[in-house]
Amino acid sequence: MTTLAKKKVMTKLCTSVSAGSLEELVGKANLALSLGSDLVELRIDRLTEGVSPREIEAQLSVFAERAVVTVRSSRDGGMFWGSESQRLDLVSRLAQMGPAYLDVELSTARENRKWMQALPKDVKKIASWHDFKGTPDLKALRSIREEELGFGSLAKVVTTAQRMDDNVTTLALCAEEPGKTISFCMGELGTLSRVVAMRLGAPLAYASIPNEAVAPGQVSISTMRTLRSMVV
């Protein structure tokens, strides 16, 4: 039976930011860090079409050591405007900045194993998987996590809460591998899991800048900082 005993892992707070322009993205990243976020997730896929990789790298490299770089594909809930080859090329280029983490979808890693292996070894990878409709059972989520850990140092398994019990499923997954598993539910009913996961040793917890949630159920960075001090 899972307990809420304290873990040695201190959860880092990561604020997700997105914008149509680089200037706006830089401003939001600076705001997130000024509000006390440990890391900032840069949602590159939400930039307006036409921004060159060189411009992106030049403007965002200043955040590299505290950045989670995400270029989410459209099939995985992202908004990338170009082809899949363009997306992979962009991820490869941004990996050269040396970000704290690079978020790569499990589906992308599965289908592009050689590309995945060619990414810089010194950049930590988050292998991610999302279910935008519901929450599979724990056995299914365990299988996903184990596959993800074959590709990245962290496994991110995110589902959608249709009922309160779904929180228990994702939290059980998180508790089994503290320090390696980021697992919680999206949606209003899933907010509980975002908070309790910090108690169970989740390495990262995602937040938003005030009134700008990037995913359903995200809590502001200021509130998450307060909650972390209470539960960890």
156 belongs to the catalytic site = yes
Q: Does residue 201 fall inside a structural domain?
A: yes
Check which CATH number belongs to the domain holding 53 and give it: 3.20.20.70
12 belongs to the catalytic site = no
How far apart are alpha carbons 115 and 108 in whole angstroms? Answer: 9
Spot the catalytic one: 12, 28, 125, 156: 156
Spot the catalytic one: 12, 125, 130, 180: 130
Q: Does residue 102 fall inside a structural domain?
A: yes
What are the angstrom distances between the C-alpha of 22 and each of 1, 51, 101? Answer: 47, 8, 20
What are the angstrom distances between the C-alpha of 38 and each of 19, 63, 182, 206? Answer: 20, 11, 16, 10
> What domain range is 106 assigned to?
12-125+187-231
Q: Does residue 168 fall inside a structural domain?
A: no
> What's the pLDDT score for residue 61?
96
Q: What is the pLDDT of residues 18-49, one digit of tens each?
A: 999 999 999 999 999 999 999 999 999 999 87
Q: How many domains does the chain have?
A: 1
Q: What are φ and ψ of residue 12, in 5° steps?
A: -90, 135
Q: What is the pLDDT of residues 195-224, one digit of tens each?
A: 999 999 999 999 999 999 998 899 999 999
